[in-house]
Amino acid sequence: MGVGLEVRIALGQFNAVVGDLPGNIEKMKGLWARAVESGADLVLFPELAICGYPPEDLVYKRQFLDDNRSAVETLAAACPEKTVVAGFVESVNGTAFNAAAVIQDGRIAETYQKCELPNYGVFDERRYFKPGHRPVVIEVGGLNIAITICEDLWETDWLRRLFADADPFDLLINLSASPFHLGKLDERGRIIGRSIKAFDCAVAYCNLVGGQDELVFDGQSILADSTGQIVTKAKAFDEDLLIADIERSGDRVTISPAVPPAAQPEGPLDEVYRALVLGTRDYTRKNGFRKVLLGISGGIDSAVTAAIAVAALGAENVQGITMPSRFNSPETIADSQKVADNLGFALLTIPIEPILTPFNKSLEADPSWNDKGLAYENLQARIRGTILMSLSNQTGALVLTTGNKSETSVGYSTLYGDTAGGFAVIKDVPKTLVYRLAAYMNERAGRELIPADVITRPPSAELRPDQKDADSLPDYDLLDRIIKGYVEQDKSARELVESGLPAAEVQRVIRLIDRTEYKRRQSPPGVRITPKAFGKDRRLPITNRYATTITKP
Amino acid sequence: MGVGLEVRIALGQFNAVVGDLPGNIEKMKGLWARAVESGADLVLFPELAICGYPPEDLVYKRQFLDDNRSAVETLAAACPEKTVVAGFVESVNGTAFNAAAVIQDGRIAETYQKCELPNYGVFDERRYFKPGHRPVVIEVGGLNIAITICEDLWETDWLRRLFADADPFDLLINLSASPFHLGKLDERGRIIGRSIKAFDCAVAYCNLVGGQDELVFDGQSILADSTGQIVTKAKAFDEDLLIADIERSGDRVTISPAVPPAAQPEGPLDEVYRALVLGTRDYTRKNGFRKVLLGISGGIDSAVTAAIAVAALGAENVQGITMPSRFNSPETIADSQKVADNLGFALLTIPIEPILTPFNKSLEADPSWNDKGLAYENLQARIRGTILMSLSNQTGALVLTTGNKSETSVGYSTLYGDTAGGFAVIKDVPKTLVYRLAAYMNERAGRELIPADVITRPPSAELRPDQKDADSLPDYDLLDRIIKGYVEQDKSARELVESGLPAAEVQRVIRLIDRTEYKRRQSPPGVRITPKAFGKDRRLPITNRYATTITKP
Angle, helix A330-343 to helix A300-313, in steps of 10 degrees = 10
Closest residue to B369, CB basis, from A57, A357, A394: A394
Distance from CA of B222 to the nearest CA of A (A): 27
pLDDT tens across B17-54, in order? 999 999 999 999 999 999 999 999 999 999 999 999 99
Q: Is B156 helix (H, G, I), strand (E, B) or coil?
A: helix
What is the distance between the alpha carbons of residues A49 and B528, in angstroms, rounded to a whole number?
A: 34
Torsion of CA B135, B136, B137, B139, to 10 degrees: 170
3-state secondary structure of B385: helix
Taking CB atoms and an 8 Å cutoff, what residues of chain A touch B416? Answer: 382, 385-386, 389, 416, 420
Residue B179 DSSP label: B
Q: Determine which one of B27, B82, B114, B233 is catalytic.
A: B114
Element (H, E) at A113: strand A107-113
Residue range B409-425, pLDDT digits in tens: 999 999 999 999 999 99
Q: What does the pLDDT profile of chain B (553 residues) look like in tens digits? A: 334 579 999 999 999 999 999 999 999 999 999 999 999 999 999 999 999 999 999 999 999 999 999 999 999 999 999 999 999 999 999 999 999 999 999 999 999 999 999 999 999 999 999 999 999 999 999 999 999 999 999 989 989 999 999 989 999 999 999 999 999 988 999 999 999 999 999 999 999 999 999 999 999 999 999 999 999 999 999 999 999 999 998 889 999 999 998 999 999 999 999 999 999 999 999 999 999 999 999 999 999 999 999 999 999 999 999 999 999 999 999 999 999 999 999 999 999 999 999 999 999 999 999 999 999 999 999 999 999 999 999 999 999 999 999 999 999 999 999 999 999 999 999 999 999 999 999 999 999 999 999 999 999 999 999 889 888 899 999 999 999 999 999 999 999 999 999 999 999 999 999 999 999 999 999 999 999 999 999 999 999 999 876 655 4
Shortest alpha-carbon distance between residue A537 and chain B (Å): 9
CB–CB of B386 and A379 under 8 A?
yes
Task: Return phi, psi of residue A27, to 5°.
Answer: -60, -45
Q: Which residues of A belong to the active site?
A: 47, 114, 150
In whole angstroms, what is the distance from residue A338 CA to residue A120 CA?
44
**Which chain B residues contact residue A383 at CB under 8 A?**
359, 386
Catalytic hit among B6, B47, B247, B407: B47
pTM over cut 0.90: yes
> Average pLDDT in the A478-490 region?
97
Put simply, the answer to whether B18 touches A546 (Cβ < 8 Å) is: yes
CA distance B212 to B279: 7
The alpha carbon of residue A248 is apart from the nearest alpha carbon of chain B, in Å, by: 41
Asked if A362's CB is within 8 angstroms of B352's CB, the reply is yes
Sign of CA dihedral A525, A530, A534, A538: positive
Q: Which residues of A touch B415 (CB under 8 A)?
A: 389, 420
Section A386-412 average pLDDT: 98
Q: What is the C-alpha R_g of chain B?
A: 26
What is the DSSP secondary-structure string of A138-184? EEETTEEEEEEEGGGGG-HHHHHHHTTTSPP-SEEEEEE--B--TTH
A521 touches chain B (CB under 8 A): yes
Residue B525 burial (CB count, 10 A)? 25
Q: Are A299 and A278 in contact (CB under 8 A)?
A: no
Q: Is B472 on the interface with A (CB under 8 A)?
A: no
Q: Would an 8 Å CB–CB cutoff place B518 in contact with chain A? A: yes
How close A435 gets to chain B, by Cα (Å)? 28
**Alpha-carbon gap, residue A412 to A424, rounded angstroms:** 15
Q: Residue A489: how many CB atoms within 10 A of its CB?
A: 13
* Cα dihedral across residues A413, A414, A417, A421: positive or negative: positive
Distance CA A511, CA A534 (A): 17
Q: How far apart are the first and last CA of chain B?
A: 69
> Is residue A346 within a helix (H) or strand (E), and if so which, with residue range?
strand A346-349
Q: Which of A21, A354, A390 sits opposite B379 (nearest CB)?
A: A390
Query: CA–CA separation, A266 vs B100, rounded Å?
Result: 52
Q: Which one of A54, A352, A546 has the shortest CB-CB distance to B19?
A: A546
ipTM of the prediction: 0.96
Which residue, among B369, B519, B542, would best test binding to A if mutated, counting the most A CBs under 10 Å from its CB? B542
Q: How far apart are CA B498 and CA B496, in angstroms?
A: 5
Q: At what angle do helices B300-313 and B431-445 cross, to 10 degrees?
A: 50
Starting at the earlier edge strand, list the strands of the sheet with A398-401. Answer: A346-349, A318-322, A292-295, A398-401, A423-424
Q: What letter represents residue B154's amino acid? A: W
Phi-psi region of B287 (alpha: psi -120 to 50; beta: other; left: phi over 0): alpha
Residues of chain A with C-beta less than 8 angstroms from the C-beta of B362:
350-352, 354-355, 387
